[in-house]
Amino acid sequence: MNDSTKPLWLQVPETSELVRRFGGAVDIPAFGGRLEVSWAPGARVTSAGGLAHFEMFLRQTGLFDRLCGDFPVRHRSNNSCANRDILGTAVPAVLLGKTRYVHIEAPRHDEAARELPGLGEVVSDATVRRAFRDADEKELDAWLSRHEREVYEVLLSFKHILDIDNTVKPIYGHQEGAEPGYNPVKPGRPSHNHHSFFIGRARIAPGVGVLPGGQHSGRCGMKRPWTLVDALPPHLRPALLRGDVGYGSDANMREAESRGVTYLFKTRRSAHVRRLFKSLSDAPGWKGCGGGWQSMEVPLRLDGWERGRRALFIRRPAGKRAGTAGPKRGGGGAKAPGKSAAPVPEAAGQMEFEFVKDMGGREWDYCALVTNDAAMDAAAISQPYRDRGDCENNFDELKNQWGWAGFTTSRLKPCRVMARLIAVVANWWNIFCRLADPAAHREAVTSRPAYMSIMGRIVESGRRRTIHLTSTHAESGRIRRALDAVAAFFRWLGSTAGQLDERARWLLIVRCAFRRILFPDPALKPLSAIR
């Protein structure tokens, strides 16, 4: 059968022949008009062009250099990977939103993203796991503590609130420390517990401890916060230690009182607390404390407390009748008053809020707070606790947007190291975003696509390298102005504050980043005045 008699589908040339005859530039009859397609092999292009500005931030502050400089991993072979490459693989992966060790090699496939932080090579995920596994645990703890402290210690000289809470990380394998414990989302599922604490409105995490799932109570995770408080002189200690119901125990209150630290905790709604509220519900003396809430101060001494303490009941009419509203499942930790009523199970297993009904038939949503602050007005105490609801956003961001729910290994020590390293990187990103937009905190789910996911192409001509950035974001104009402002700030810093040492420069950078919080006056001080 000659070619003329063959079916057309048998006359199609081989692939190599097709490329030889019809390859090269392709003219595509696209819907928007004819389009010529050509490839540019070897072009240094990245989808994370925003790394350029963030790397400038790390270079000017020296944060990444110091993190790599004292990384306590000792290599026994001349062929071992450099510490900078190990951390230079892990840190960009966290920044790019990776949550699994198997995804940690993402920069390997992005030459420009590998070039921007000056990496020699991208190491494997196994190398990162081994580094965290084999290093001495005490040395790792000291290393991470130093880099946690250099971020938050600048804020300690200002009046601040320390929020403490914990969250559950479900485990789906046979990992060390995976134990059944309190797990409102997946009851009975083995888990780890992240016990962490945050500096109030700044949303800076000074530290986190990863404990087995059985150690879920508030007392289990207080070792690290007390270590932080004990290391501080009295004038730098938090103005208020704020925690949810899991932390309102006599042991925690005695620890705070022995250190002279003011606390505000929510107590469990025990039978005694319920009876007391019921007796007070129709009594006179309730005062408005904002947001539709009412408060009444009473002395309280629960069973197991060594002495009585100042307590405050806060209530408001329930928005829905009992039996019609179930609590929101998920998360971990506390909600603000109005969202933290204790659930009680029914026969069918449905969780419902427990309300108290007074003599007039009204239903109340309420909680009981305890504090050792004898000076603050009772009505004013309720507002700081309601503000504590923002702490839940920190857990949501770090678990679901930064990777606390991932990076699980068979051993607990690498999980602890990675959780703390994630908190350090998240703190860096928080400060960077505050420099770009000081008006409000921007969570990673919105700030990463805005400031990081920018198309970039590196072009080298002579001795000059240029990165051409293109943002496809709907607010690309505002994003460009914000990043240009960060670059201009560091140029100003180099020209005006060049005589400052490294510590003084970092102090100035953090104060500028949080100037809306530290200097809430609407007439903001100019950057040059913040010293």
Q: Is residue 354 part of a domain?
A: yes
pLDDT over 70 (residue 192): yes
pLDDT over 60 (residue 156): yes
Angle between helices 476-496 and 502-513 (to 10 degrees): 150
Supply the pLDDT for residue 4: 66
346 vs 392 pLDDT, higher one:
392
Q: Is residue 524 part of a domain?
A: no
Q: Is residue 41 part of a domain?
A: no
- In angstroms, rounded to a whole number, what is the distance separating the alpha carbons of residues 49 and 255? 48
Return the DSSP state at 411. Answer: S
Supply the pLDDT for residue 379: 75
Q: Is residue 230 part of a domain?
A: yes
Q: CATH number for the domain including 269? A: 3.90.350
What predicted TM-score, i.e. pTM, was given to this entire model?
A: 0.84
Supply the pLDDT for residue 346: 38
CA distances from 115 to 35, 49, 386, 527 (A): 32, 11, 46, 32
pLDDT over 60 (residue 311): yes
Query: How many domains are contained in the chain?
Result: 1
Confidence of residue 2 (pLDDT cuts 50, 70, 90): low
Confidence of residue 383 (pLDDT cuts 50, 70, 90): confident
- In angstroms, rounded to a whole number, what is the distance separating the alpha carbons of residues 291 and 488? 42
For residues 168-182, give the mean pLDDT: 88
Instruction: Please name the residues in contact with 508: beta carbons below 8 A apart, sequence gap of 6 or more.
Output: 493, 497, 500, 530, 531
List pLDDT tens digits, range 483-520: 999 999 999 888 876 678 888 888 889 988 998 887 76
Q: Is residue 197 part of a domain?
A: yes
Instruction: Please name the residues in contact with 526: beta carbons below 8 A apart, sequence gap of 6 or more.
Output: none
- In angstroms, rounded to a whole number, what is the distance separating the alpha carbons of residues 416 and 168? 14
Task: Give the number of other CB atoms < 10 A from CB of residue 120.
Answer: 11
Q: Is residue 214 part of a domain?
A: yes
For residues 120-132, give the mean pLDDT: 88
Which domain range does residue 332 map to? 141-412
Supply the pLDDT for residue 154: 87
- In angstroms, rounded to a whole number, what is the distance separating the alpha carbons of residues 437 and 43? 32
List pLDDT tens digits, range 66-107: 999 899 988 777 778 888 889 988 998 899 888 889 888 877
Q: Is residue 231 part of a domain?
A: yes
22 vs 487 pLDDT, higher one:
487
Supply the pLDDT for residue 448: 92
Q: Is residue 201 part of a domain?
A: yes
Instruction: Please name the residues in contact with 153: beta carbons below 8 A apart, sequence gap of 6 or more.
Output: none
| Mean residue pLDDT across the chain | 82
Measured in whole angstroms, the distance separating CA 486 from the mean position of its chain's CA atoms is 22
